[in-house]
Structure 1
Amino acid sequence: MSSPIYPCLWFDGNAKSAAEFYCSVFKNSKITTDTPMVVMFEVNGYKLMGLNGGPHFQFNEAVSLVVNCDSQEEIDYYWEKLTSDGGEESMCGWLKDKFGFSWQIIPSGLGELMSDPGRAQRIMAEVMQMKKLDMGKIMSA
Structure 2
Amino acid sequence: MITQKITPSLWIETRDAKAVVDYYLSIFKDGKMIDYHQYENPPEAGGEKFETATIEIEGMQLNILAAGPFFKFNESVSFVINTKDQAETDYYWDALTANGGEESSCGWCKDKYGLSWQVVPIEYFKLINSTDPKVRERAIKNTLKQKKIILSELK
TM-score (norm 1): 0.90
Choose between structure 1 and 2: higher helix proportion.
1
2:57 is matched with 43
For 1:23 and 1:94, how far apart are their aligned partners in 2? Answer: 20
Which of the numbers 136, 141, 144 marks the counterpart of 1:128? Answer: 144
For 1:34 and 1:25, how far apart are their aligned partners in 2? Answer: 19
For 2:70 and 2:94, how far apart are their aligned partners in 1? Answer: 29
Q: Shift of residue 99 of structure 1?
A: 0.7
Tell me if the contact between 1:126 and 1:137 (Cα under 8 Å) persists in the aligned partners: yes
| Corresponding residue SS for 1:129 | coil
1:137 is matched with 153
Tell me if the contact between 1:82 and 1:97 (Cα under 8 Å) persists in the aligned partners: yes
Tell me if the contact between 1:97 and 1:103 (Cα under 8 Å) persists in the aligned partners: yes
Identity of aligned residues (%): 38
How do 1:13-52 residues align onto structure 2 when only pairs under 5 Å count? Answer: 13-36=15-38, 37-52=51-66
For 2:5 and 2:151, how far apart are their aligned partners in 1? Answer: 33
For 1:14 and 1:110, how far apart are their aligned partners in 2? Answer: 37
The residue type equivalent to 1:95 in the other structure is C
| Corresponding residue SS for 1:132 | coil
Q: Deviation string for 1:50-87 (max 9, x for gaps)? A: 01232121001111111111111111111111111111
Q: Which has the larger radius of gyration?
A: 2
How do 1:1-141 residues align onto structure 2 when only pairs under 5 Å count? Answer: 3-12=4-13, 13-36=15-38, 37-117=51-131, 118=133, 119-138=135-154, 140=155
Tell me if the contact between 1:41 and 1:48 (Cα under 8 Å) persists in the aligned partners: yes
Instruction: Specify whether residues 76 and 54 from structure 1 end up closer, same or farther in structure 2 by C-alpha distance, changes over 3 A only.
Output: same
| Corresponding residue SS for 1:120 | helix
Tell me if the contact between 1:14 and 1:52 (Cα under 8 Å) persists in the aligned partners: yes
TM-score (norm 2): 0.83
Tell me if the contact between 1:16 and 1:50 (Cα under 8 Å) persists in the aligned partners: no
Any stretches of 5+ residues in structure 1 without a counterpart?
Answer: none
